[in-house]
Amino acid sequence: MAGYRYEITVKPIEDRKGHPIDKPILVFEVSNHDEILSIVEKIQSRSDLDFPDEQKTAFAVGLKLFSEVMLEHRKHPIFAPLHDAFKNFMMGLKKGNGGRKDE
């Protein structure tokens, strides 16, 4: 698939008890039809997403990685239950304020 290419690195640091994790760094390459770094910037600038910047970054990157796989394999039965819900979720996210009508 043509698109932007990224190298993703996941470096284990510590477990939930604070002990170092002795596992190798995970590195892989992916393509995405979107420019992920600009999306991260947009998500970080959103005031309606009231969680820390590191979580906004994780949310944006995770969402783009997941949605690209789902888009590429949209006919796979594992994604069937998500089609409508994911479409509604993305429409609400793009509208701003989390898609809420109360703001």
- State the Cα–Cα distance between residues 10 and 20, nearest whole angstrom: 14
Retrieve residue 44's tokens: 């970080």
Residue 2, pLDDT score: 74
Distance CA 12, CA 33 (A): 28
Work out the number of other CB atoms within 10 angstroms of the CB of residue 66. Answer: 12
The model's pTM: 0.86
pLDDT in tens, 38-91: 999 999 999 999 999 999 999 999 999 999 999 999 999 999 999 999 999 999
**What pLDDT score does 99 carry?**
46
Q: What percent of the chain has pLDDT over 70?
A: 92
| Closest listed residue to residue 35, CA positions, set 81, 65, 4 | 4
Q: Where are the domains of the chain?
A: 4-99
What is the topology classification, in CATH, of domain 4-99?
Answer: Ubiquitin-like (UB roll) (3.10.20)
Residues 39, 33: Cα–Cα separation, whole Å: 12
